[in-house]
Amino acid sequence: MLWVKAFHIVFVAAWFAALFYLPRIFVNLATVPADSHAERERLLMMARRLYRFGTLLMIPALGLGLVLWLYYRIGIGAGNGWMHAKLLLVVGVIGYHHVCRSLLRRFEQFTNQRSERWFRVFNEVSVLFFAAIVVLVVVKPF
């Protein structure tokens, strides 16, 4: 079980690293001047690759989490309300991941309407998800 837990943590941390940086690329894309095609294309290429890489990291992170939950029964039983809250947050993180894809598509199609400031705030959402999940797993407040 410890190997599964260790690799789950590694993949979750790597997935979140992608979620921390991808919106930062969106901040940069939102500030690119209209006549700077090369810079825009470079940032789009980086964002596409990072999104794909993050998706590839998400899959084993979720799979190993399911193994810990369903096979090793971590978080199952009385006194494990923290797991329900964590699972709700994980669903939120998956949604955030897909919203990142939608935002990337808007940049690709030249239809982004969001400001640099909006993307700066959006960038912090993944940090809040990460902090809340870590607190739930470590502290197990309920």
Length of the chain: 142
Report the mean per-residue pLDDT for the chain: 96
Of 134, 138, 126, 136, nearest to 92 by C-alpha is 126
| pLDDT at 77 (0 to 100) | 86
| pLDDT bracket for residue 79 (50, 70, 90) | confident
Rounded CA gap, 29 and 39, in Å? Answer: 9
pLDDT at 34 over 90: no
Reported as half-sphere exposure (CB side, CA atoms, 13 A), residue 35 has a value of 0
pLDDT at 72 over 90: no
Q: Is the separation of the CB atoms in 54 and 18 below 8 Å?
A: yes
Contacts of 103 (CB under 8 A, 6+ apart): 23, 26, 112, 114, 122
The SS3 of residue 117 is helix
Rounded CA gap, 59 and 97, in Å? Answer: 12
Percent of the chain past pLDDT 90, that is, above it, reads 93
pLDDT tens sequence across 35-71: 899 999 999 999 999 999 999 999 999 999 999 999 9
Domain ranges of the chain: 2-139
Of 8, 13, 5, nearest to 130 by C-alpha is 13
Rounded CA gap, 29 and 13, in Å? Answer: 25
